Amino acid sequence: MFVTIGRVSLRLNGRQMAKGSSLAKKSEKKRPAYHRILLKLSGESLQGPQGFGIDGETIHAIAKELREVHKLGVQIAIMVGGGNIFRGARQKGFEIDRATGDYMGMLATVLNALALQDALEKVDVHTRVQSAIEMHQVCEPFIRRRSTRHLEKGRVVIFAAGTGNPYFSTDTAAALRAMEIKAHAILKATRVDGIYDADPEKVPGAKLFERITYLDVIQKGLAVMDSTAISLCMDNRMPILVFNMNTPGNIRRAVMGEKVGSTVTAE
């Protein structure tokens, strides 16, 4: 049997053909289900056991997981939250004007973005930080075409400062940017295994939904992402994969299309 690669023809015997086809099958099996993802990382996921701020070991472990996903050839954009540093007007024991608090919250996400950039570059993953609030000395401004170009070149793009507007959340910013960069899915990393019918940390026996519709999430008031983010995803049919961040390898599993956590879609 002759096989032609470009201008070269090779003659293969039966065994070589069989080996070739089994290798082809293997590599087919290993192809990621999503080639461009937007990962939403809450500020909380960076804080580790200390319960606030940024934990070195935790952020290093996340960077290493992301490196594995990056090696699969997946284009990765990340929207990072800020709740580990400042929660805007929701900050406990701190009465502050809503917009001012929200701007402070957005600035907190920039700190996280820079920490994540440093952690990723330490494990040899090239990155760019793009902020929705301009700060030229620190990072790039968000420019949609520029972020897709970075992704095509294999750089991880970290989005900072949410949407740049108060009264929004980084969940909504994640949904917005996912649409803008034409991501194939939003990966929402949480501290529980997926979406439950009740808070699994408080209600023993709470039921996990493997699949659920956007409408059900909104109607049942399930705490996945805020309703603005969910309805944006619903209008644009953007799948959301919700999974436990504390289980090592979960980002990779989700990207490969393996059954992990919950999936939110239209049907």
> Is 47 an interacting residue with respect to ligand UDP (CB under 6 A)?
no
The per-residue DSSP string of 23-91 comes to: HHHHHHHTS-S-SEEEEEE-GGGGTGGGTSS--HHHHHHHHHHHHHHHHTT-EEEEEE--TTT--GGG-
> Is 263 an interacting residue with respect to ligand UDP (CB under 6 A)?
no
Which one of residues 39, 47, 74, 87 is an interface residue with ligand UDP (CB under 6 A)? 87
195-196 and 75-80: which strand pairing?
unpaired
Which one of residues 36, 38, 82, 159 is an interface residue with ligand UDP (CB under 6 A)? 82
Task: Retrieve residue 67's tokens.
Answer: 């490196």
Distance of closest approach, residue 191 Cβ to ligand UDP, in angstroms = 12
> Is 130 an interacting residue with respect to ligand UDP (CB under 6 A)?
no
Stretch that binds ligand UDP, among 1-9, 13-21, 163-171, 200-208 (CB under 6 A): 163-171
d(CA 185, CA 18) in angstroms, rounded, equals 35
Which of 65, 102 has the CB closer to ligand UDP? Answer: 102
Which one of residues 32, 43, 194, 261 is an interface residue with ligand UDP (CB under 6 A)? 43
* CB-count burial class (<10 Å; 0-12, 13-18, 19+) for 50: exposed
Which of 213, 228 has the CB closer to ligand UDP? Answer: 228
> Is 168 an interacting residue with respect to ligand UDP (CB under 6 A)?
yes
Task: Retrieve residue 238's tokens.
Answer: 């953007």
The CA radius of gyration of the chain, in Å to the nearest whole number, is: 20
In this structure, the dihedral spanned by the alpha carbons of residues 28, 32, 36 and 42, taken in order and rounded to 10 degrees, is 180
> Is 169 an interacting residue with respect to ligand UDP (CB under 6 A)?
yes
> Is 170 an interacting residue with respect to ligand UDP (CB under 6 A)?
yes
Binding track over 102-121 against ligand UDP, x by CB under 6 A? x--xx-xx------------
At 118, give phi and psi (nearest 5°).
-60, -45
Stretch that binds ligand UDP, among 59-67, 97-105, 119-127, 231-239 (CB under 6 A): 97-105
> Is 173 an interacting residue with respect to ligand UDP (CB under 6 A)?
yes
Helix axes 170-180, 144-152, angle to 10 degrees: 70
Distance of closest approach, residue 72 Cβ to ligand UDP, in angstroms = 25
Question: Residue numbers of the site for ligand UDP (CB under 6 A)?
Answer: 42-44, 81-83, 87-88, 90, 101-102, 105-106, 108-109, 162-163, 165-166, 168-171, 173
